[in-house]
Structure 1
Amino acid sequence: MSMKAVVIGAGVAGLATAAYLAHEGHEVTVVEKNNHIGGRAGSFSSGGFRWDTGPSWYLMPDAFEHFFQFFGSSTAERLDLVELDPAYRFFPEGLDPIDVSDARAIFESIEPGAGEQLDRYLESARETYEVAVQHFLYNNFTRLPLHKDVTSKLLFLSTLLRTSLEHFVNDRFQDHRLRQMLSYPAVFLSSSPKNTPAMYHLMSHTDLTQGVLYPQGGFAAVVDAIADVAREQGATIRLGAEVAEIVCSNKEVQGVELVDATFLDADVVVSAADLKHTENALLPRHLRTYPEQYFAKRNPGIGTVLLYLGVRGELPQLLHHNLLFSREWDADFEAVFDRPNGFSRSLYISKPSATDPDVAPTGHENLFVLVPVPAQPNFNREEQVAEAAIDQIAQWADIPDLRERIVERHVIGPQHFAEQFYAWSGGSVGPAHTLRQSAMLRGSNASKKVNGLYYAGATTVPGVGVPMCLISAENVVKRLRGDTSSGPLEH
């Protein structure tokens, strides 16, 4: 049956959800509080530079391909993808940088025997990734995933869940640089290696095996492509339309009321906004599946201070993707998760001008710098963190005049995410992927108190990151269809 649907939020998850729902024949309206699409995957321009404001690492290409193919298209048709080789440059503190291209050769050169060990590690990562895609990611867990692919590997999978990524990696490799190269994806999961289940070593398959791509135009081009699909399917996108309340009657969703008192009636409401905000700001107390006390016992993940820098002259010392890791990085994760107002000395730099000529004026470079900090909206050290990061990059990457060459500088932190996106605790990525916040333990994408209310995006299942947001949109449609299968929908 054709229904009216309202989707809250025009980020990746909201736009993708709108595309799927409109494809199903529903009348879909997306309402977005800000005056631009993309959400955290936004775009910012100043002084001739253009920065992606959030995601910058294109992983899981199969998830994007599946999304576009579902609508009769392809990534080749929608995006101009460039493979990055080397995938990134790794700056270990006090040691020479490493360009990550032939990972096996690098591992073997650093630690004899580690090349063969890496082969086994990546084979395990591939196997785990395939099981996850077929049975865990595209799954609403309305029934247990008891397919033989899962039950035949139950001991292996349970071991991966009970073991930390840190222990899993450290048990196989001795050199701290190799350990860091395999453990850093925990940050992409808004967590730390010691609190991330080893199941997530599958991330190394997406990085070292599938390779790292860059969409020309950045993630803004990805967002535009998803929005184009949504509009082509018939969805309407309304900007500057903030939701004040999800209106319900007798535990049935009726629609949404905007802050300007406009009422949009709907048979289905899908919130791709932050889950905590959705539940505790848009619903009355008695209709909250996830009240305040639910979040009090959970981990909001990492916050970030982001630097958008325009730099005069070339920076050959940096590749497109760069990782700076301190020698004793346990202290970095403690600073983020255990110390108020701390910040990490391990950081990430993207230089998209290495690949995309349109992101900076001629003769200049574009830098996006990410420094993990605690997820706390009252974090007030953004400028101090930015100063420390610039000094660190100048020293570690041997760019002594970096500070003098900066012609554009913009800094944001957790307060920005709290105000702009109503992000829980000012987190920039989403809830951490700890054991208690993974798979079916991450929560449900359907309200238990309101019929017709569903959730999508990084703050619900299956998790954080742009590919996961695409998958979360598909899972909403599966739930509406009553589809209890555990894999991707057929094209």
Structure 2
Amino acid sequence: MRVVVIGGGFGGLASAARLAKLGHEVTLLERSQSLGGALSWTAEADYRWDSGPSTTLVPAVVRDLFRKSGRPLERELELVPVEVIREHRFTDGTSVRLPGGSRARQKAAFDALGAGLGAAWTAYVDTLGEEWELLRRDYLERPWDPALARRETRNLLEGRESLLHRLRKALPDPRLRLVAGHPLAMDGHDLRRVPAWLGTVSYLEQKFGAWTVPGGLAQLGEALAHRLQTRRVQVLLGTQAEDLVVRAGRAVAVVTAAGEVDADAVVCAVDPRRLPALRAHVSRTRPLTPGAVCYLGLTGEVPDLPAEVVLHGDVPLVLRTGGTAPPGGTAWTVHGRVPASGDLVAALAGHGLDVRRQVAVRVDRTPAQLLEQWGGSPLGVAWQGRGTVRRRLGPRTPVPGVYAAGAHATPGSGLPFVGLSAALVAQAIGPA
């Protein structure tokens, strides 16, 4: 079967690798001149930073991808756990370092923040384990079919409870609510519209921890690009998919400026709004826009910080300390949703981390620039209540012969979930 994959981000790379291993003739179309999307590098002078994510959860997703598409991950890359997932600093001067992969260590960390808080936190996370198992078996690891799903899973996905409501019930201290809601709030979601079961991210952090590749997670994108070569996937860079050709009610080709690319099946691994044939089917969803990013190359001594620090406040910031730098230098990345006229480095100084005199290299990216660079948002669509589950596409779509993977598809954004979306597409299409 001839399969055309649209998009060279993580979702497209993972889909192409899996489908090629299943025996399909795969062509991947990427509008830019490089693969990886947000899973790539930003470099300036002798400094280099992960352009997008620097860690991932549920490492089994990545390991399964490499095993199901060729050589095991361990023969390509070293995936290592991050001891502290992130440090949260609050406006009252207190802070907590959130360890990963250990219920006991998380309990101890929150008990150090305040008496009884460890028990409150672990009790909250414990309730999410059962929900994760339901989601994993019925929603994440096989294409959704209400007729096959357990009643408990259907009730969970159709439930009206919001994450904000659950956090207010389960966590008496507002600092714990900030920690639990952070992964979704920082992406720009309104926790009043996020289903309560999305709190399972906290369970994943406690159960499996966060993982990275020494030297930068973007190496994962490079390894997948090389995997496509070994699987003989035809990669067409600088080739933007403009629309689908639908005949007799089925997609038969992809339209590009250079002509039509014939297909027996098409995988949309970009924002479906970019394709007129799919746009109407996602009209009730809203894409999330990333915040601004500032990549900093610093000189001299800087504070000794964990891989990620969350600075809570009126303008919350995320500081990531990974990256490569020349001798005597340090690479930092600052993320934030500051006003258009705001300055991330000045905002960082306002949180007590003033490195303005040590900046040797600075690369700023506005939200609009990031969207142009990546060809869309890696954050997927905004949660607008329980209906978002039904309004997202994937793995199948209403157009026969068209499938959806990536951040905008089921089950959503974040490397583990995008990786799962590619696995779902491979299941839906099946072997050649």
Query: TM (normalized to structure 2)?
Result: 0.90
Residue 242 of structure 1 corresponds to 240
Residue 29 of structure 2 corresponds to 31
Task: Report the alpha carbon displacement of residue 317 of structure 1 after superposing the two structures with TM.
Answer: 4.4
Residue 280 of structure 2 corresponds to 291
Residue 316 of structure 2 corresponds to 346
Unaligned stretches of 5+ residues in structure 2: 100-104
1:399 pairs with one of 325, 333, 353: 353
Q: CA deviation digits over 1:314-367, x for unaligned, max 9? A: 3224321110111xxxxx6xxxxxxxxxxxx012111104xxxxx111111111
Residue 345 of structure 2 corresponds to 390
CA contact (8 A) 1:191 1:433 kept: yes
Q: CA deviation digits over 1:118-173, x for unaligned, max 9? A: 222222222222222111123432443433xxx35776x369x3222122122122
Residue 424 of structure 2 corresponds to 475
1:420 pairs with one of 373, 377, 389: 373
Task: Report the alpha carbon displacement of residue 27 of structure 1 after superposing the two structures with TM.
Answer: 0.8
One-letter amino acid matched to 1:271? C
CA contact (8 A) 1:305 1:414 kept: yes
Residue 271 of structure 2 corresponds to 274
**Distance in 2 between the 1:461 and 1:154 partners?**
15
One-letter amino acid matched to 1:224? E
One-letter amino acid matched to 1:163? E
1:170 pairs with one of 168, 171, 178: 168
Aligned residues: 426
Task: Report the alpha carbon displacement of residue 204 of structure 1 after superposing the two structures with TM.
Answer: 0.6
Listed as ranges, the matches of 1:108-123 within 5 Å are: 108-123=111-126
**Distance in 2 between the 1:19 and 1:264 partners?**
19
Residue 43 (structure 2) pairs with residue 42 (structure 1):
no
CA contact (8 A) 2:378 2:413 kept: no
Other structure's SS at 2:337 match: strand
Task: Report the alpha carbon displacement of residue 193 of structure 1 after superposing the two structures with TM.
Answer: 2.3
Task: Report the alpha carbon displacement of residue 309 of structure 1 after superposing the two structures with TM.
Answer: 1.1
Task: Report the alpha carbon displacement of residue 87 of structure 1 after superposing the two structures with TM.
Answer: 2.4
Residue 309 (structure 2) pairs with residue 367 (structure 1):
no
Residue 408 of structure 1 corresponds to 361
Deviates more, 1:65-74 or 1:455-464: 65-74
Residue 393 of structure 2 corresponds to 443
Task: Report the alpha carbon displacement of residue 455 of structure 1 after superposing the two structures with TM.
Answer: 1.7
CA contact (8 A) 1:431 1:437 kept: no
**Distance in 2 between the 1:245 and 1:9 partners?**
13
Residue 414 (structure 2) pairs with residue 465 (structure 1):
yes
Q: CA deviation digits over 1:79-121, x for unaligned, max 9? A: 2123222222211124043322332112223333222232222
Q: Alignment RMSD, CA only?
A: 2.4
Listed as ranges, the matches of 1:148-163 within 5 Å are: 151=151, 157=156, 161-163=159-161
Listed as ranges, the matches of 1:207-356 within 5 Å are: 207-259=205-257, 261-278=258-275, 280=276, 283=277, 288=278, 290-291=279-280, 294-295=282-283, 297-326=284-313, 345-353=315-323
Task: Report the alpha carbon displacement of residue 72 of structure 1 after superposing the two structures with TM.
Answer: 5.1
Other structure's SS at 1:473 match: helix
**Distance in 2 between the 1:121 and 1:78 partners?**
37
Other structure's SS at 1:419 match: helix
Kindly tell me: are residues 141 and 99 of structure 1, through their superposed partners in 2, closer, same or farther at Cα, counting changes over 3 Å?
closer
Unaligned stretches of 5+ residues in structure 1: 327-331, 333-344, 354-358, 374-380, 483-491
CA contact (8 A) 1:12 1:38 kept: yes
**Distance in 2 between the 1:362 and 1:202 partners?**
40
Task: Report the alpha carbon displacement of residue 48 of structure 1 after superposing the two structures with TM.
Answer: 0.7
**Distance in 2 between the 1:437 and 1:79 partners?**
39
Deviates more, 1:163-172 or 1:438-447: 438-447
**Distance in 1 between the 2:312 and 2:186 partners?**
15
Query: TM (normalized to structure 1)?
Result: 0.80
CA contact (8 A) 1:309 1:366 kept: yes
Give the ranges of 4+ consecutive aligned residues of structure 1 lying more than 4 Å apart after TM superposition. 152-155
**Distance in 1 between the 2:20 and 2:415 partners?**
20
**Distance in 2 between the 1:154 and 1:244 partners?**
36
